[in-house]
Amino acid sequence: MKTYEILKDLAIIIIVAKLMGLVARKCKAPMVVGEMIAGLIIGPCLLGVLKPNDFISQMAEIGVILIMFSAGLETNLQELKKSGFVALLIACAGVAVPLVCGTLLYMCFHGFAAVGSDEFFKALFIGCIITATSVGITVETLKEMGCLKGHVGQTILSAAIIDDIVGIIVLTFVLGFKDPESNTAAVTGRIFMFLAISFILGYFIYRIFKVVDERYPHTRRIPIIALSLCFIMAYVAEKYFGIADITGAYIAGIILCNVRDAEYIDRKVNVNGYMFFAPIFFVGIGLKTDLSHIDSSMIVFSLAFVLTAMLSKVIGCGLVARCCKFSGIDSLKIGAGMMTRGEVALIITNKGLGMKIIDPSYFTAVILLIIVSSIVTPILLKFLYSKSPDPEPIHN
């Protein structure tokens, strides 16, 4: 391939992704859905203008890393401390129940497999995919109704953040055990070692970074050093600890989320993200999605998958909220608010594809889940809030 050929690929991806993203937004769906559909349209599935290639998958890899880094950077540790125990419980239930339900769902369709077998991991992985809440749509809906600062809104927000952290730890374990040569002790040891080293070294890096940041605030070197840290942690995680690179990038984000320029770094990373890498990742998913494998059983599975994913969150988070003395309808609001899925579900699916755990046909189910959940959530939330408005919005 001549080097300049990549310019054509880039131009097509960027412009079609933006166009379809805008169309998706007009239809009140998330922009990423539009971008994936763009990939489906220009990919081998339909027009065949573009095929997945090394360059696209490398750029997409950077895109994923940037998205996870940005998610880490946007974590508000202060907020988490305030919201405390209740949010933690809701988040844990919001990970555990979908994980179990997803695993059982796959086994219902493909038979129960022995713990540790390949099929078992496949089932567990399907569970993993539906653990990650994407709270963006919920936040927008609550903001629009002026209910984000209410008790329910704040609980959803905190639970969703903890949900990400718990979810990524679960994913790390599942992927760690996937290796046929792995044994429980070694994998657990490796993961704890990585987390321990990250947090000890991370603390020192954070202190150093804080000093540099206070000395040279808002200079170019700040996002550049941050980005290097992110790439190094992602690389070291994958190469030396057998942990997903996205985990490393996410933790790098968390390490830096408390420096004063965290928002500045996030903005610069996002400019790179939205102009180049993120569209390439989402379009790339569309390119890789293989609709030819889809038969009636896959369609039935996809529908069951969407239903399981949505209900398991509502039930898991809702029940725990109810146990924590939220009213019935407020518990439902929390469950509904945690129901949406987004880019992280795609990133996990993509990871599973890269590790040959699942095949590309599962993208269809995940895309469907993202579309349906992001359409249903705002409607459901608006309905619930119309039945029972926030009694006492907290202004802080």
Determine, following the binding rule CB under 8 A, whether residue 268 of this chain makes contact with a second copy.
yes
Are residues 156 and 140 in contact, defined by beta-carbon separation less than 8 angstroms?
no
Stretch that binds a second copy, among 184-192, 235-243, 304-312, 329-337 (CB under 8 A): 235-243
* CB 283 within 8 Å of CB 13: yes
Taking CB under 8 A as the binding criterion, the range among 224-232, 297-305, 314-322, 325-333 that sits at the site for a second copy is 224-232
Confirm or reject binding of residue 292 to a second copy (CB under 8 A). no
Q: According to CB under 8 A, which one of 116, 354, 389, 391 is a site residue for a second copy?
A: 354
Tokens describing residue 44: 């081998």
Site for a second copy contains 227 (CB under 8 A): yes
Among 78, 117, 184, 228, binds a second copy (CB under 8 A): 228
CA distance 105 to 308: 8
| By the rule CB under 8 A, 193 interacts with a second copy | no
Rule CB under 8 A: is residue 61 a binding residue for a second copy?
yes
Question: Looking at 239, 260, 293, 387, which residue binds a second copy (CB under 8 A)?
Answer: 239
Q: How many of the other CB atoms lie within 10 Å of CB of 76?
A: 15
Q: Is residue 85 involved in binding a second copy (CB under 8 A)?
A: no
Query: Which tokens go with 27?
Result: 């239809």
C-beta closer to a second copy: residue 224 or 299: 224
Residue 345 near a second copy by CB under 8 A: no
Q: Which is nearer to a second copy, 1 or 115 (CB)?
A: 1
CB of 363 to a second copy, least distance (A): 18
- Give residue 222's identity as a one-letter amino acid code: I
**Which member of 196, 271, 300, 303 binds a second copy (CB under 8 A)?**
271
Which residues of the shown chain bind a second copy in the complex (CB under 8 A)?
Answer: 3-8, 10-11, 14-15, 18, 22, 54-55, 57-58, 61-62, 65, 220-221, 223-225, 227-228, 231-232, 234-235, 238-239, 245, 268, 271-272, 274-276, 354
